[in-house]
Amino acid sequence: MRHLILSVAVPALLLAAAPAAAQHSGHHPAGVVATTPPPHFPADLTPAGVRAADDHLALEEVDGAEAMAFVAASNRRALAALEGDRRYETFRAQAEAILTATDRIPSPSFLGDGIGNFWQDAANPKGVWRRTTLDSYRSGETQWETLVDVDALARAEGRDWVWKGADCLAPDETRCLISLSDGGKDAVTVREFDTTTRSFVDGGFVLPEGKHRIEWLDRDTLLVATDFGPNTLTESGYPFIVKTLKRGQTLDQAIEVYRGEQGDGGYGVSPGVYRDRDGAVQAVIITRPLDTFRSETWELIDGRPVQLAVPERLSIYGVVHGSLILSNDEAWTHLGETYEAGSLLSPCLICLRRPLPEGETAVANRAVRIFAPDERQAVSDVRVLHDRVLVGYTDNVVGKLAVFEDRGERGWIRTDIATPDNLAVNLGDSSKSRGQVFVSAQGFLTPPTLSLADAGAGSLETLRQAPAKFDASTHVVEQFEATSSDGTRIPYFVTRPRDLAMDGAAPTILFGYGGFQVSFPPAYKPEMGKLWLENGGVFVQANIRGGGEFGPQWHQAVLNENRQLAFDDFAAVARDLHARGITSPEHTGIYGRSNGGVLTSVSITQHPELFNAAVIESPLIDMLRYHELPAGASWIGEYGDPRIPEEAAWIARYSAYQQLRPDAEYPRVYITTNTRDDRVHPGHARKFAARLGDMGHDHLYYEETAGGHSNDADPIANARRWARHYVYLAQQLMD
Integer angstrom CA distances of residue 326 from 275, 335, 339, 383? 16, 17, 12, 11
Task: Please report the sign of the dihedral spanned by the C-alpha atoms of residue 237, residue 241, residue 244, residue 248.
Answer: negative
Phi, psi (deg, nearest 5) at residue 538 = -115, 140
Cα–Cα distances in angstroms (integers) from residue 333 to residues 201, 306, 343, 347, in the given order:
49, 20, 12, 12
Q: What is the DSSP string of 123-184?
A: S-SS-EEEEE-HHHHHSSSPPPEEEEEHHHHHHHHT--EEEEEEEE-TTT--EEEEEEEESS
User: For 330, which DSSP code?
Assistant: S
For 135, left (φ over 0), alpha (ψ -120 to 50), or beta?
Answer: alpha
> Which residues are designated catalytic?
594, 709
Dist. CA 548–CA 329, nearest whole Å: 10
Main-chain dihedrals φ then ψ at residue 487, nearest 5 degrees: 90, 0
Report the distance separating Cα 691 and Cα 695, nearest Å: 6
Strand-pairing partners, residue 70, are: none
State the DSSP string of 525-592.
-HHHHHHTGGGT-EEEEE--BTBSTT-HHHHHTTSGGGTHHHHHHHHHHHHHHHHTTS--GGGEEEEE
Amino acid at 351: C
Instruction: Give the distance, in angstroms, between the CA of residue 602 and the centroid of all CA atoms in the same chain.
Output: 20
Cα–Cα distance between 461 and 454 in angstroms, integer? Answer: 8
Residue pair 391/344 in contact (Cβ under 8 Å)? The answer is yes
DSSP per position, 508-528: EEEE----TT--------HHH
Which residues on neighbouring strands pair with residue 215, listed in sequence order?
223
DSSP string for 419-449 = --TT-EEEEEEEETTTTEEEEEEE-SSS--E
Residue 609 exposed, middle or buried by CB count within 10 Å (0-12, 13-18, 19+): middle
State the CB neighbour count (10 A cutoff) for residue 233: 19
C-alpha atoms less than 13 angstroms from C-alpha of 291 in its C-beta half-sphere: 17
- What DSSP element (H or E) covers 67? helix 65-82
Show Cβ contacts of residue 121 under 8 Å, excluding neighbours closer than 6 positions. Answer: 100, 101, 102, 715
Q: What angle do CA 681, 684, 686 make, to 5 degrees?
A: 105
β-sheet bridge partners, residue 332: 339
Angle at 674 between CA 544 and CA 588, to 5 degrees: 40
Task: Report angle CA 481, 484, 489 to the nearest 5 degrees.
Answer: 35
388-395 and 489-497 beta bridge pairing: unpaired
